[in-house]
Amino acid sequence: MNKATQSLKWVLLEFIDKCKDLRSFKKIHAQLLTSALVSNDLVVPKVANCFGKYVTDLHYTCNYLKQFDWSLSSFPCNLFISGYASCHSPWAAILVYRWVFRNGFAPDVFTVPAVLKSCARFSGISELRQLHSVVVRNGLWCDMYVQNSLVHVYSICGDNDSACKVFDDMPIRDVVSWTGLISGYVKAGLFDDAIALFLRMDVEPNLATIVSILGACGKLSCLNLGKGLHGLVVKFPYGKELVVGNALMDMYMKCEAVNDARQVFDEMPEKDIISWTSMIGGLVQCQFPNESLDMFYEMQASGIEPDGVILTSVLSASASLGLLDYGRWVHEYIDCSRIKQDFHIGTALVDMYAKCGCVEMAWHVFSGMPSKNIRTWNAFIGGLAINGLGQEALKQFEELIESGKRPNEVTFLAIFTACCHSGLIDEGRWFFNQMLSPSYNISPLLEHYGCMVDLFCRAGLVGEAMELIKTMPMPPDVQILGALLSACSTYENVGFSQEMLKSLQNFEYQDSGIYVLLSNLYASNKKWTEVRSLRRQMKKKGINKAPGSSIIRVDGNSHEFLVGDSKHPQSEDIRLVLNTLVNQIDTLS
């Protein structure tokens, strides 16, 4: 190659890098032809990358590929297929492959992974199976790179049975083989299978293996295995990698091991937005809303800008604590930062405003959402229910049905809550029957039965509540029994309490409230023998009456004070302390 051609080559390479449309490339193509640079090893990859990004005319692509002698090298065809597979046109890669294959191109071990990558991009399971048969027919099966690609793509496409069959047929497996199948199981929700396969591994796991299996441990709450992996991973060079730290935090949070997650977080040399998201979101899920807001302050102080996912968690924490002003600040921040209000943010805003008692704003956000999913409807209907707007909640249920959405278990729980808080007994019965009907065919959970029992007990229908409990496929919990006992006390139904005493002997309840309610019911009717029997049961089971407590927020800090029985000698002192604090708060304000 002379100096002029050499100089032209570098100029053309620069033009190819800047080319963004077919019209411009045709001019470059003419120069490539006249200078005999079409097949140059530096030019071909650049052109393939350009075609993958900007050339959608596959007829022109196929004609361009005719310039190469495929019998000498598969390099050009493989590059063009990879170019399309790596960009926004995975289907184009499949079409180009089919055309060259029909015209005599023989795929090799480098062609197959490129085509498989395209199949993975659009979950093309039928194309994957066709290519698998070509692999076997052309004798490419023996290559481990091809085998691993098949395992990986079958897993991505959700066909874990085929992935497992390919894996089992492999005479030799490396860490990529094991990781491909394990990650496929995790993606498909087969967490037990993923852990079982991991325990069978006969090679050292890599970073991707550890991250996948930590996800499975979190989903199954396998804390002991997760801790074992934590101890294992620190021995490997990648143990300090950011992605490993994030996976460990996520696992610990899903296992509700908050202290362990915090320790991992504090020991991380660097943190990204995912690290903060795992901690803040995990604290909210583990019912530590105050701590999650403290963590949010720390994140802001570190200079990291929150995204929509974190703000959704912060809104949930604000809803749990009833911090309306804080929730409003988050709402304003979202608007000022022009963060897109997707389903998650919109639903969190509706939930926050409703739980803080600001139904008008909840309605404003709800009605302003261009589209809503079932969680959005559930948040709004549930918000109306807890604010005593039962009839409006039922009306929104009708609109939900008219919108074409299908209600789920949470929707009916919100409806039963609305009926319970608004005394809508007939409507509650009707919706309970509708839930069981073929139209919805939803099996009631313990929470649904609890709402219905509470509805009947509030109306004094203790007998109907008891009949419903007898039909339950699971034993009643303390909330259900507590509702029954409260109703018995209110309506002086002492006869039922004998049945309750027997049920307490059969179930291992550790909640002192049930025993105290029943004991007070007996005492009010001067049944001292039953009172003594209950007290003996409590002592035998080691159950003590928990003292009540009050929480007062002073300057943003929560202070908890125990408040015992009114007859306790220290109760008056505690009241004096509380009154003093209230007076101090009034003075500060």
Q: How far apart are CA 85 and CA 102, in angstroms?
A: 19
Q: How far apart are CA 424 and CA 263, in angstroms?
A: 49
Under a CB-based contact definition with an 8 Å cutoff, are residues 547 and 563 in contact?
yes
Q: How far apart are CA 291 and CA 60, in angstroms?
A: 60
Instruction: Taking each helix axis as running N to C, give the angle between helix 75-86 and helix 111-121, from 0 to 180 degrees, rounded to the nearest 10.
Output: 20
Nearest residue to 97 via CA among 128, 67, 72: 128
Tens place of pLDDT per residue across the chain (589 aa): 567 778 888 888 899 889 988 889 999 999 888 888 888 889 999 998 899 888 888 999 999 998 888 888 888 999 999 989 888 788 899 999 999 999 989 899 999 999 999 998 888 899 999 999 999 998 898 899 999 999 999 999 989 999 999 999 999 999 999 999 999 999 999 999 999 999 999 999 999 999 999 999 999 999 999 999 999 998 888 888 999 999 999 999 999 999 999 999 999 999 999 999 999 999 999 999 999 999 999 999 999 999 999 999 999 999 999 999 999 999 999 999 888 888 899 999 999 999 999 999 999 999 999 889 999 999 999 999 999 999 999 999 999 999 999 999 999 999 999 999 999 999 999 999 999 999 899 999 999 999 999 999 888 888 888 889 888 998 887 778 778 777 776 766 555 555 555 555 555 555 566 667 666 666 666 667 767 776 777 777 666 665 655 555 555 555 555 554 444 444 555 555 555 555 555 555 4
Determine phi and psi for 105, rounding to 5 degrees.
-75, 135
Report DSSP letters for 147-184, one per residue.
Answer: HHHHHHHHHHTT-HHHHHHHHHH-SS--HHHHHHHHHH
Chain-centroid distance, C-alpha 487:
39
The strand pair at 548-554 and 557-563 is best described as antiparallel
With a CB cutoff of 8 Å and minimum separation 6, the contacts of 382 are 351, 354, 410, 413, 414, 417
Instruction: Taking each helix axis as running N to C, give the angle between helix 308-321 and helix 343-355, from 0 to 180 degrees, rounded to the nearest 10.
Output: 10
Q: Phi-psi bin for 141: left (phi > 0), alpha (psi -120 to 50), beta? A: alpha
Query: In this structure, what DSSP letter does residue 239 have?
Result: G
- Which of 470-481 are b and which e, b meaning 16 or more Cβ less than 10 Å from the residue's Cβ? eebeeebbebbb
Instruction: Please write down the long-range contacts of 290-297, taking CB distance under 8 Å and 24 or more positions apart.
Output: 290/317, 290/321, 290/558, 291/258, 292/317, 293/317, 293/318, 293/321, 293/326
Under a CB-based contact definition with an 8 Å cutoff, are residues 10 and 44 in contact?
no
Q: How far apart are CA 19 and CA 34, in angstroms?
A: 19
pTM of the model: 0.76
Query: In this structure, what DSSP letter does residue 237 have?
Result: G
Determine phi and psi for 580, rounding to 5 degrees.
-60, -40
For residue 235, the surrounding DSSP H or E stretch is none
